[in-house]
Amino acid sequence: QVQLAESGGGSVQAGGSLSLSCAISGFTDNTDGYNCVGWFRQAPGKERESVAAQSTGGGYIYYPESVKGRFTMTQNKAEKAVYLEMNSLKPEDTAMYYCAADQACDHWHVPSWGYYGQGTQVTVSS
């Protein structure tokens, strides 16, 4: 069974930092593989939006303008782990954050990836 397990969410004041982790497991020879990993977030009443994406082979990391320069995504392919470092957090960053995996990063900003975790809550107070 494919699982993406996030951890590291919490509450922080504006200007603070948080780090999220994601452990990916359960992919087998019989499971559609993944070649793109990333993070999405969803605030109450809003659509899910991508905040970072990268091919599992490395290379360019996609970020939307809203988080560029503040969020940094890294991955450890050998350990099947994905990380999101969030700095200079703002109240508008408050949301449930989801780790995600998909076959390709072609449509990284479209919230229809193949696999999502259960999410971890990030709350930023002013």
Report the C-alpha gap between 33 and 35 in whole angstroms.
7
pLDDT for the residue 67: 98
pLDDT for the residue 33: 80
pLDDT for the residue 119: 97
- Edge-first strand order for the sheet with 81-86 is 3-7, 18-25, 81-86, 71-76
- Burial tier of 91 (Cβ tally within 10 Å: 0-12, 13-18, 19+): exposed
pLDDT for the residue 30: 60
What is the full per-residue pLDDT of the chain (126 aa) written as tens digits? Answer: 889 999 999 999 999 999 999 999 988 766 668 899 999 999 999 999 999 999 998 999 999 999 999 999 999 988 999 999 999 999 999 999 999 999 999 999 998 999 999 999 999 999
Report the C-alpha gap between 28 and 20 in whole angstroms.
25
pLDDT for the residue 21: 98
